[in-house]
Amino acid sequence: MAMDPQREVSREVVMSLLEDAHWAPTHGLNQPWRFHVFASLAARTRLGEGLQAIYDEITPVAKHIDAKRTKLLTNLQHAPVVISVGARVVTGGKIPEWEEIAAVSCAVQNLMLSAHERGLGAYWSSPPVACGGEFTRWLGLEGTHRMMGLVYLGWPQSDQLPPPSTRGDLLDRVTWHDA
Ligand SMILES: Cc1cc2nc3c(=O)[nH]c(=O)nc-3n(C[C@H](O)[C@H](O)[C@H](O)COP(=O)(O)O)c2cc1C
């Protein structure tokens, strides 16, 4: 979806989306979601350059694709707000990692539904550079975090709306046990 990079999303609006995210279900009230908000162009450029450095670090030379590397930066310049999503996981703790990742996923869905209600576009993307330990370190977090990608936020450009969403047959994914 094309977003208007010039049209700001205020800090107040972003915080109210994050407040909705914060009410996601969470086992043991661990509230494992950790968000880093990159709002200014300078902050998004810094993030993009960081992701490019991670790309160089984790991509074997033979698999290096210039266009992919460039997009890691330009994508961040096309959305006015980008939020990195992470789950803080306590290894050996009472709550298994999958539950913390599920809780953070619920938080992201809350955020995206809230964005949609306000007419904002939101897009969850998971490039490998934003999902591994290298990114955890770049953010300055300890190793007990699982990084879960980036959410792009912005006001949709009304002349460039995305094609309508589609889904397969729901009945292929639901089994009733009612005999
Ligand atoms: C955890 C997660 C990661 C995703 N990562 C990507 C991604 O890296 N690239 C992509 O094109 N879509 C990705 N998607 C899918 C899009 O966010 C979106 O759901 C999909 O394009 C379908 O659009 P719709 O939900 O509006 O129908 C991801 C979805 C989830 C839940």
In a domain, 101, yes or no: yes
165 lines ligand 1 (CB under 6 A): yes
Cα–Cα dist 134/147, whole Å:
10
Quick one: which of 57, 93, 88 has its CA closest to 72? 57
CATH number at residue 150: 3.40.109.10
44-71 pLDDT, tens digit per residue, is: 999 999 999 999 999 999 999 999 999 9
Residues 77/48, Cβ–Cβ less than 8 Å? yes
Task: Give the pLDDT band (50/70/90) at residue 161.
Answer: confident
pLDDT at 160 over 80: no
Beta carbon of 91 within 6 Å of any ligand 1 atom: no
C-beta of 149 in contact with ligand 1 (< 6 A): yes
Kindly state whether residue 176 falls inside one of the protein's structural domains: no
Strands (E), the chain: 33-38, 81-88, 121-125, 145-154
Q: Is residue 84 domain-resident?
A: yes
Q: Given ligand 1 and candidates 113, 116, 125, 166, which is best to mutate, with the most ligand atoms within 8 Å of its CB?
A: 125
Is there a domain that residue 162 lies in? no
Predicted confidence (pLDDT) per residue in 111-148, tens digit: 999 999 999 999 999 999 999 999 999 999 976 899 99
Does the Cβ of 124 fall within 6 Å of ligand 1? yes
* Tokens describing residue 34: 């950790």
Would you say residue 4 lies in a domain? no
Q: Which domain holds residue 118?
A: 11-156
Query: In whole angstroms, what is the distance from residue 80 CA to residue 24 CA?
Result: 25
In a domain, residue 173? The reply is no
> Ligand 1: which residue has its CA nearest to atom 29?
124
Residue 58 falls within a domain, yes or no? yes
Number of domain units in the chain: 1
- For residue 56, being part of any structural domain is answered with yes
The reply to whether the predicted model has a pTM over 0.85 is: yes
